Amino acid sequence: MDEPTVSVVIPAYNEEHYLPKYLPSVLASLEVWETSTGLRGEVIVVDNASTDATAAVAARLGARVVTEPERGIGRARNAGATAAQGDYLVFIDADVEFPLYGIRDAMQAMTLRWCVGGAIQPEYEPTKRGTRLLVWAWALYRRHRGGAQGVTQFCTREAFFAVCGYRPELYMSEDVEFFARLTKLGELRGQPVTYLPHLRVRPSNRRFETWSSWRMYWWCNPITANLLRSSRRFWRHWYDTTVR
């Protein structure tokens, strides 16, 4: 069998309950691309030191499972990229409803537009008024400062390793920092990153709905996320007792 052309990397920590809901949307999107091209892709779930049945559930659903024993989403994404066989990489969070044509359009962007990579922006749907304001503030911040969240980012394998992947010592905003370096690489090569504005990925609202608005403001504002992004201690609740 031919080796995969595209590798989808999904970091996962204790996601046994969310993978059955969201992973099928990624697999369906990959199947659409495979059917239209005759090529093959793969989905890699990186089990990031889970204490539940994440690995077993991912394998049962049809993903290839890779293990990263040290907690950290940057480390998990890097482990998936290292294990990937495809020349193109798509990084997707584990609790994301992925659009049916997401893989197809991301691959077209990289192969036909000659870009180093890009992103699909998230569409959050929080019910709390205060949280909706925070989501709006982040959208405004990204609009004026550029960048993209790691909810869905994609790039060529060569570009990923050219910028040395995600910084494993960052515990927050590692996705924004990675995308900034990818953007600079694209500018230098004349292959700028691209966004797919006609598509949206829909992350779950688990943290928005469980945490209070003041807690979301404290943990999830751009200033805190950037100034303290290297502090494992500060983000311990995000990693160790995060909502599942």
* 72, pLDDT greater than 70: yes
Q: Does residue 41 belong to any structural domain of this protein? A: yes
Q: Does residue 215 belong to any structural domain of this protein? A: no
More confident residue, 189 or 140: 189
SS3 percent helix, strand, coil of the chain, rounded to 5, is: 45, 15, 40
* 244, pLDDT greater than 70: no
Helices (H), the chain: 19-37, 54-61, 73-83, 102-112, 129-145, 157-162, 174-189, 206-210, 213-220, 222-227, 236-240
Query: Tokens representing 238?
Result: 């995000």
Q: How much is the CA Rg of the chain, to the nearest whole Å?
A: 17
Average pLDDT of the chain is: 89
Q: Does residue 71 belong to any structural domain of this protein? A: yes
Structural domain that includes position 165 = 6-127+147-204
Residue 196 gets the label, from left (phi > 0), alpha (psi -120 to 50) or beta, of beta
Q: Does residue 138 belong to any structural domain of this protein? A: no
What total of structural domains would you count in the chain?
1
Q: Note the pLDDT tens digit of each residue in 155-176.
A: 999 999 999 999 999 988 899 8
Q: Does residue 219 belong to any structural domain of this protein? A: no
Q: Does residue 19 belong to any structural domain of this protein? A: yes
Average pLDDT over residues 80-92: 98
For residue 173, the domain's CATH number is: 3.90.550.10
SS3 at position 214? helix
Closest Cα to residue 151, out of 91, 104, 106? 91
Strands 6-12 and 88-92: parallel
Helices (H), 163-212: 174-189, 206-210
Q: Does residue 244 belong to any structural domain of this protein? A: no
Q: Does residue 242 belong to any structural domain of this protein? A: no
Q: Are the CB atoms for 238 and 178 separated by under 8 Å? A: no
Q: Residue 39 and residue 197: Cα distance in Å, rounded?
A: 25
What is the pLDDT at residue 164?
98
Q: Residue 217 and residue 172: Cα distance in Å, rounded?
A: 15
